[in-house]
């Protein structure tokens, strides 16, 4: 499977312009089975979503159209309003789905006050697409390895983010760590540009299960990177070196603590 990572400079609270930017990038990229956009790619990272978060579904409709046009899945998070509540919702849209898969960000970024306006998700979401199982995660989730622990139930993790330049070394380190410890592919998509609080320099990249960086976008540029997810190679590695068979049980660890 080919996956294309879309690193763009997001214009704050301007969904129409950001859709145009994303569409141009996707159409200009190599043909892929999956296209991944950053966190809150339609608005930039907003902690006060009133009047900004989408309730009309326009960007989700755009994702659906692009999925059908490209015969591929399209993934990215959108600040979403639903029944009076706000969610940082990561959509995974396929060309043949009548309703999209989605994951609501579990770990809201309390440091910025995201938890004051948004409702946290309470479910781990794994999507099956063209023979590969994807775990969906958003930005701050990257810091919490127990939540992402591979229970032999996925093959790749998608992290979409608005990760600032000041902490970008942590981003690179943890993406690599999640790939190694979970013996999986990791796709990390970050943005560029700036907003009122932060500067973002990208660092979009993909890792294989050995912890090798196999694709990366240049810093401070709107760019795409396409990676091949090779299940034959992954399965052979897991069979030869079955690390996941020796993983700790989260429930077991909790029982020992109690």
Residues 69-78 have pLDDT tens digits of 999 999 999 9
pTM for this model (two decimals)? 0.96
**DSSP one-letter string for 110-179:** GGGTGGGTBPPP----EEEETTEEEEEEEGGGGG-TTTT---S--SEEEEE----GGGHHHHHHHHHHHH
Residue 256 has pLDDT above 80, yes or no: no
Q: Which residue has the tokens 């940082």?
A: 88
What percent of the chain stands above pLDDT 70? 97
Condensed to tens digits (0 to 9), the pLDDT of residues 15-59 reads 999 999 999 999 999 999 999 999 999 999 999 999 999 999 999
Known catalytic residues are 39, 105, 139
pLDDT digits (tens, 9 = 90+) for 77-111: 999 999 999 999 999 999 997 889 999 999 999 99
């Amino acid at each position: 499977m080919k996956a294309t990572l879309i690193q763009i400079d997001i214009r704050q609270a301007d969904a129409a312009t950001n859709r145009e930017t994303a569409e141009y990038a996707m159409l200009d990229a190599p043909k892929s089975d999956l296209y991944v956009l950053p966190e809150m790619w339609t608005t930039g990272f907003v902690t006060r979503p009133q009047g900004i978060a989408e309730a009309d579904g326009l960007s989700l409709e755009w994702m659906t159209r692009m999925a059908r046009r490209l015969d591929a899945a399209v993934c990215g998070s959108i600040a979403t309003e639903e029944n009076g509540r706000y969610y940082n919702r990561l959509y995974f849209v396929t060309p043949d789905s009548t309703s999209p898969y989605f994951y609501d960000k579990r770990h809201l970024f309390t440091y910025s006050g995201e938890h004051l306006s948004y409702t946290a998700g309470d479910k781990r979401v794994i999507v099956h697409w063209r023979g590969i199982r994807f775990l969906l995660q958003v930005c701050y989730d990257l810091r919490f390895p127990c939540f992402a622990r591979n229970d032999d139930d996925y093959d790749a993790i998608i992290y979409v983010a608005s990760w600032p330049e000041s902490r970008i070394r942590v981003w690179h380190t943890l993406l690599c760590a999640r790939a190694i410890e979970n013996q999986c592919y990791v796709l990390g998509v970050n943005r560029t540009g700036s907003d009122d609080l932060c500067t973002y320099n990208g660092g979009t990249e993909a890792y294989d299960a050995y912890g090798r960086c196999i694709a990366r976008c240049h810093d401070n540029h709107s760019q795409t990177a396409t990676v091949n997810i090779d299940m034959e190679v992954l399965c052979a590695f897991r069979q030869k070196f079955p690390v996941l068979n020796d993983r700790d049980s989260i429930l077991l660890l909790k029982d020992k603590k109690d």
